Amino acid sequence: MRSFRCGTCGQLIFFDNSVCLRCSSPLGYEPVRRELLTLADGPDGLATVDGGQAPQRWRRCGNDVTAGCNWLVPADGQPGSLCRSCRLTSVRPADDDTAAMGAFVTAEAAKRRLLDQLAGLGLPIIDRVTDPDDGLTFELLSARNHSVTTGHQGGVVTLDLSESDDAYREFVRQQLGEPYRTVLGHLRHEIGHYFWPHLVVAAGRLDEFRARFGDERQDYQAALRDHYEGGRPEGDDAWSGLHVSRYATVHPWEDWAETFAHYLHIRDGLETAADFGVVIDEPARSFASGNGLPSVGEHTTVGPLVDRWLGLTVAMNAMSRSIGRDDLYPFVLSTDVVAKLDFVHRSVV
C-alpha cells in the first residue's frame, strides 16, 4: 500500500486518512487515479487540475459518516451518492445496532483496501447492476442475533462482522489452529473464490489448475464435513509441504482461495516496503537466497517476488521478536506452495 503527501503542508499521509494530522486539511481518496487528494475547497468539494484539463470537483462518499469512508465521488452526481466501494455492499447492520455498526466500519475499511489493490493489479470487478446473477456484492452481517457464515456464493461475499472483534477473532484463530486470521485476510480469501471462474475456467487454465491444486469436482460439502468433524491432530503439520495453510487442504477451491489471498498479501507487502524505501540487505538476503527454493525461483515467474518477500519477512520477524512479539509472518513457503503462487501470479498478470 502506497503512502501519500498532504497537498497543503507536505505531511506524510496514509490511505485511510480523512484529515491531515499536521494542518487539519480535509482529505479524500480518488479511486480512479488512486490518489489521496487534499480537499482545497473544504470537505464538500475539491477543485483540481489534471493534465491541463478543466478543473474537476469532488464530494465525499455518502457513507463518509456511516462507514467511515474517505473515498470521493464526482461532485456532479446526486447528493449522497456512494463511492464504487460502498455501492458494492448490499446488506449491512441497522443504524441503531451500534456494536455491529462499529464492526461494519472496520470491515468497510478492509474492503476499500482490498478493492484498491485489485484495481492496482488490473483485476476487474463486475457489480450486481451489470451482472445481476453473478456480479460481486458484499453482505456484511453481525452474528449476534442470527447465524452468519463467512463465505462466497455466486458473487456474494458474506462476512460475519464478529471477525472485526479482536478477542473473538483470536479465540477462533486458536480454536482452529490458524497462524493468521484478519478481516482483510478473510476478504482476500473470498475474493479469490469470486475470481476463480474468471481467472481459471474462462481463461482456459482448468487442466493446469487440476494438475497443481487437485480436481475441484470432488464433493465440496463432504470435504468441509471431513475437515471440521475430523478434528485437528496435535503436531500434524504434514500439510505444510503442499499447502500454504491447513484450511487449504479442505478442497482444491479452498487451496486456490488461500493461495490467492497469500499472493495478495505478498504483493501488498512488497509494494508497501518499496514505497517506504525499505531495502533488505544481509543477512536477510542471504537467508532468502539459501532457503531451499532457488530451483523454483529459476523456473517460475513469481520467483523474484518470493525471494524479495522471504528476505523482507525474515527481517520483519526478527524485528517483531526484538520487542517480545510473535512472528509477524508465521508461514513457511515450500517449493510446492511457491509453484501454486506462480500459477496465481500467471493467472493475474
- Structure confidence by residue, pLDDT tens digits, 168-209: 888 788 777 777 889 999 999 999 999 999 999 999 999 999
Kindly state the average pLDDT of the residues 106-132.
95
Quote the pLDDT of residue 193: 97
* Predicted structure pTM score: 0.91
Crossing angle of helices 98-120 and 183-196, in 10° steps, is: 50
Read off the C-alpha cell for 171.
479465540
Most confident of 94-98, 137-141, 178-182, 234-238: 137-141
pLDDT at 79 over 50: yes
Confidence at residue 30, expressed as pLDDT on a 0 to 100 scale: 93
Mean per-residue pLDDT of the chain? 87
For residue 30, what is its C-alpha cell?
Answer: 480518488
46 pLDDT more than 50: yes
pLDDT, mean of residues 216-226: 93
Residue 236 clears pLDDT 90, i.e. is over it:
no
- The arithmetic mean of pLDDT across residues 144-158, rounded, is 89
- Alpha carbons 120 and 1: distance in angstroms, whole number: 10
Contact indicator for 161, 104 with CB cutoff of 8 Å: yes
- Dihedral sign for Cα 206, 207, 209, 213, please: positive
Least Cα distance to 293 among 282, 302, 283 occurs for: 302
The C-alpha atoms of residue 199 and residue 276 are separated, in whole angstroms, by 31
At residue 159 the predicted structure's pLDDT band, cuts being 50, 70 and 90, is very high
What is residue 289's predicted lDDT score, i.e. its pLDDT?
61
* β strands within the chain, DSSP E: 4-5, 12-13, 27-30, 35-38, 58-60, 72-74, 89-91, 137-141, 151-153, 156-160
Sheet holding 137-141: strands in order across?
Answer: 89-91, 137-141, 156-160, 151-153
Identify the residue whose cell numbers are 452474528: 143
Mean pLDDT of the region 47-75: 78
